[in-house]
Amino acid sequence: MLVGTRLQIDGQRKRRKGVGAAIRRSIPVRTFADWGDPPPGFFEMDMVEHYNGPKIDGDYLHTLVLTDIASGWTECFAMRHRSQALVIDGMDKIASDLPFPMLGVDSDNDSAFMTQDVFDYCKAHRLEQTRSRAYKKNDQAWVEQKNGAIVRRLVGYGRLSGSEATKTLA
């Protein structure tokens, strides 16, 4: 029904453009098959939400999960809420705890990862930053497996919220 109206707007639909889209375009895509045999230090990164039921508010915890491709080494970082600042804090904490240097991170297209601050952090720390294809969970098979085998197995699927739960989860 809106085709005629849309065609009157310069002949094409207008799409939102912003910093996130520009960042997303500047980060190369890496698929499951592209890994080859990397040395330790290249991680897949994902976030697990701890909620149960409808998402009526954003007051629930998240776990930042990083899994090394070569060794399977997995580190988790408890976050009180979704935040690019907490993603950077988590990456910093995890990098300092590792027995080998962090060389690169591969994330999904989550808006908490596709930000200027995370992009700048990776650049400043000389981390190779890549991303998976949208809606292709197999591109991040290592970290997705650890989400279930570690986070969900230990924590479960219930809703967690508040500072006390954050301390316990950490």
Give the pLDDT score at 87. 95
Give the pLDDT score at 58. 67
Specify the DSSP element, H or E, that contains 77.
strand 74-79
Q: What's at 15, amino acid-wise?
A: R
Q: Tell me which residue of 142, 81, 73, 63 sits closest to 106, measured CA to CA.
A: 142
Give the pLDDT score at 19. 56
Q: What's the CA gap between 32 and 104, in Å, rounded?
A: 15
Give the pLDDT score at 18. 58
What does each of the 170 residues of the chain score in pLDDT, given as a tens digit? 777 777 766 555 455 555 567 888 889 898 888 888 899 999 999 998 898 777 666 678 999 999 999 999 999 999 988 889 999 999 999 999 999 999 999 999 988 999 999 999 999 999 999 999 888 888 888 898 998 898 888 888 888 888 888 898 88
Q: What is the pTM of this model?
A: 0.81
The DSSP line for 23-52 is: HHHHSPB--GGG--SPPTTEEEEEEEE---
Q: Where are the domains of the chain?
A: 42-169
Give the pLDDT score at 9. 67
Kindly state which CATH superfamily the domain 42-169 is placed in.
Answer: Ribonuclease H-like superfamily/Ribonuclease H (3.30.420.10)
